């Protein structure tokens, strides 16, 4: 008789073994991957965060408004997939996808652990709702919104 494994799916499955529903449920809604980043001219592998959010990010719902078409509408949007997450080192270290790819497990505040969908806001991981929509800024002025946060 097979032994049942009561561990949650993210502890017993590799990222590549997850169903689409399981994969999508790993997103905590922090919005950090929807922050507009600029490539450093001197060090192209470095991205500088801004205080702007992607035009498709809904700060109240904490979700993309056009998720299925996002990469067509925003060509610089990177689609997170089980087969590419290990290569996306620029993702925030708090990202559940990155954490699992690095073998760290989910953070204690993650909604799948805490049971609270707002826990990402409570602990201060979520991007501020007041971030500037990138459509409100001329591209030549993006540099004025650089926050100093850098990602590799």
The per-residue pLDDT for 44 is 65
CA 124 to chain CA centroid, nearest Å: 14
* Residue 71 to residue 86: CA distance in whole angstroms: 19
Report in angstroms the alpha-carbon separations of 51 from 33, 54, 73, 126: 12, 10, 21, 13
The per-residue pLDDT for 151 is 65
The per-residue pLDDT for 1 is 56
Contact between 40 and 136 under an 8 Å Cβ cutoff? The reply is: no
Residues of the chain with pLDDT below 50 are none
The per-residue pLDDT for 120 is 94
Rg (CA), the chain: 17
The per-residue pLDDT for 9 is 96
Q: Which positions ≥6 away from 149 have C-beta within 8 Å? A: 48, 49
The per-residue pLDDT for 2 is 61
Closest by CA to 101, choosing from 23, 5, 21, is: 23
pTM score, two decimals? 0.84
The per-residue pLDDT for 135 is 96
CB atoms within 10 A of CB 75: 7
């Amino acid at each position: 008789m097979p032994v049942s494994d009561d561990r949650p799916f993210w502890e017993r499955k590799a990222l590549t073994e997850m169903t689409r529903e399981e994969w999508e449920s790993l997103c905590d809604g922090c919005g950090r991957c929807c922050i507009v980043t600029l490539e450093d001219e001197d060090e192209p592998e470095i991205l500088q965060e801004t205080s702007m959010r992607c035009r498709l990010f809904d700060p109240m719902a904490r979700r993309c408004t056009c998720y299925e078409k996002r990469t067509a509408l925003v060509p610089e949007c990177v689609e997170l997939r089980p087969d590419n997450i290990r290569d996306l080192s620029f993702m925030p270290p708090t990202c559940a996808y990155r954490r699992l790819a690095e073998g760290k497990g989910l953070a204690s505040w993650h909604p799948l652990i805490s049971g609270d969908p707002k826990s990402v806001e409570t602990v201060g991981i979520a991007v501020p709702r007041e971030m500037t929509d990138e459509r409100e800024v001329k591209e030549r002025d993006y540099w004025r919104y650089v926050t100093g946060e850098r990602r590799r």
